[in-house]
Amino acid sequence: MKALVSATLITAWCAAFYGGYAQAAGIGDIVLAMPFDEGEGEVTMDISPHRNHGTLMENAGWGIGKFGNALQVEPVGYVDAGTDPSLSLFDTDFTLAVWVNMKETVAHQHGFMAQDEGGGPANNKWMLRYNKGGVRSVNFHIHRADGGSMQLEPGFWRANPDTWYQVAVVRAGNEYTFYTDGKRDLELESDLAVAKFIDAPVTVGWAEGPIATDGLIDEALIVKRAFTPDEIKTHFEGGVHDVLAVQPQGKSAAVWGAIKAQILR
């Protein structure tokens, strides 16, 4: 019941607050913003103006997050955020950012965020993941069924298990910039674009079925523009709520207060 009330309140607030504000402030570029604060139920809310709410799949559940609650996907599970056209990363700059807490960082891959039709050369996909073994690096991968594949890795990352990290990648033209914990890691280049159509939902905590995040996921963010370093730092310091720059005023303050009270109860 609490999850249902929370969902109703957030949906109402998003419609009221963003209805006239998104275009003026550029918030409409944010197409997925999941704080995972519900703590119960099978639905998690997207507080972006696009409201691409997610469904918990397989054995996904809830845990303690970096900010409030988090999505727990160990040993397997994920969130299905759907296939709305607003989520397409074709022909656009973009930003992907998420907080992750992995139980193990040597022998396993961990899929953070993806939209993929599965493994194999005939499938379109993009994914943000952690690679295992001797590589041990954040990895951003694009594959197109009509030709072309690339994997970008900023280098060896000695991530510790059971530790929270912010991971982000920003595309600006052909340049990809990787960030860890709000700090720029490396810039790499590729002219390969994400496929125009991917016949699969956007997933959080899962990639190429099943490369799951064995651990916790929090503050998942997809933006259809290149974030500045300061905006990446905002996500690092305060999660998706701070990125959305909610400054409650007037009636919005009352609605936002009710939302937070229901989510955190």
- For the segment 47-85, what is each residue's pLDDT rounded down to a tens digit? 999 999 999 998 899 999 999 999 998 778 899 999 999
DSSP state of 188: E
Q: Which one, of 43, 31, 72, 87, lies nearest residue 202 by Cα?
A: 87
- For the segment 239-253, what is each residue's pLDDT rounded down to a tens digit? 999 999 743 333 344
**Average per-residue pLDDT in the chain?**
84
Contact 215, 100 (CB under 8 A): yes
Query: What percent of the chain shows pLDDT beyond 90?
Result: 61
Grade residue 133 by pLDDT with cuts at 50, 70 and 90.
low
**Right CATH number for 2-264 from 3.30.1490.20, 3.20.10.10, 2.60.120.200, 2.60.40.1930?**
2.60.120.200
pLDDT at 21 over 90: no
The CB density around residue 124, as the number of other CB atoms within 10 Å, is 21
Rounded to whole angstroms, how far apart are CA atoms 132 and 155? 12
Mean pLDDT of 15-44: 74
Torsion of the alpha carbons at 27, 247, 222 and 69, rounded to the nearest 10: -160
- For the segment 179-237, what is each residue's pLDDT rounded down to a tens digit? 999 999 999 999 999 999 999 999 999 988 778 888 999 999 999 999 999 999 999 99
